[in-house]
Amino acid sequence: MSELKCVLSDWDDTLVETFAGKAAQWQEVRRRLDGQDVPLELIRKHWSLGFTKLRDVVCDISPGDEERIKQAEALIAETYVDFPKKAFEETEEFLRWVRRSKIQLGLVTSLRRNELYKDFAVTGIPASTFDAPGGQNLVYTEGDSVELKPSPTVFDKPLVHLRRHGVAPDQLAYVGDALTDYYATKDADLPFVAVTTGPTGYEAFLDAGLDSARIVRSIGAVPRALERLGTN
């Protein structure tokens, strides 16, 4: 494998702690919408769908029900900062490693851009963390690909950008906490490292066929895993 030049990362439950707080927010949104209690298990089951699809499941929105979408969106906006995400303790250390190693860092997330930029402000991880050559940042969100993870098309735009700036697919790796992250990289033929800080555990990645050396407990252990794999 060639020298590692770029790490693309998932956002939620990879760089920032998300599920605990945001699952509670989704429950609150539905409660305010029509008084219904949504089981945590339902949210967990659909967690990897991407923001908009998860909204429709949690809020029981039928296709085209614009009135209910409007109500749900208002409640999402109203409650978003009451359930803040926070950077994992080891994220700062990981970001220092990225800077020290002069590695380009990018985000590929199924979150919406609007919510992501609110997260940047709350978590203290500025958007500039993902600045890339060419005056653009490497931040790809729900609207940037036709399909979401596990579709490998989520990597189309970042790969085009990176190639233009001299980074080949075998000089990058992707980090994520979900099986959908893994499957997307598999079909895109990109190296992948899993963190188990999200709802998906070690065994689930192993059962899905991921090498144990590529499964680590948190973002802080990612540099070592990449080095071990000879991707650095």
Nearer to Mg ion, 98 or 184 (CB): 184
Binding site for Mg ion (CB under 5 A): 10, 12-13, 177
In the complex, the smallest distance separating the C-beta of residue 180 from Mg ion, rounded to whole angstroms, is 8
Alpha helices in 35-140, H assignment, sequence order? 40-45, 51-58, 66-79, 91-100, 113-123
Asked if 210 and 182 touch (Cβ cutoff 8 Å), the reply is: yes
Nearer to Mg ion, 172 or 178 (CB): 178
In the complex, the smallest distance separating the C-beta of residue 36 from Mg ion, rounded to whole angstroms, is 26
In the complex, the smallest distance separating the C-beta of residue 194 from Mg ion, rounded to whole angstroms, is 10
Instruction: Sort strands 172-176 and 192-195 into parallel, antiparallel or unpaired.
Output: parallel
For residue 150, the one-letter residue type is: P
CA-to-CA distance for 11 and 86, rounded, in angstroms?
11
Alpha carbon 166 to its chain's center: 25
CA-to-CA distance for 150 and 146, rounded, in angstroms?
12
Nearer to Mg ion, 49 or 69 (CB): 49
The CA-atom distances, in angstroms, between 28 and each of 39, 71, 148 are 11, 13, 26
Nearer to Mg ion, 14 or 232 (CB): 14
Judge residue 21's burial from the number of C-beta atoms within 10 Å of its C-beta, 0-12 exposed, 13-18 middle, 19 or more buried. Answer: middle
In the complex, the smallest distance separating the C-beta of residue 3 from Mg ion, rounded to whole angstroms, is 27
In the complex, the smallest distance separating the C-beta of residue 10 from Mg ion, rounded to whole angstroms, is 4
Nearer to Mg ion, 5 or 22 (CB): 22
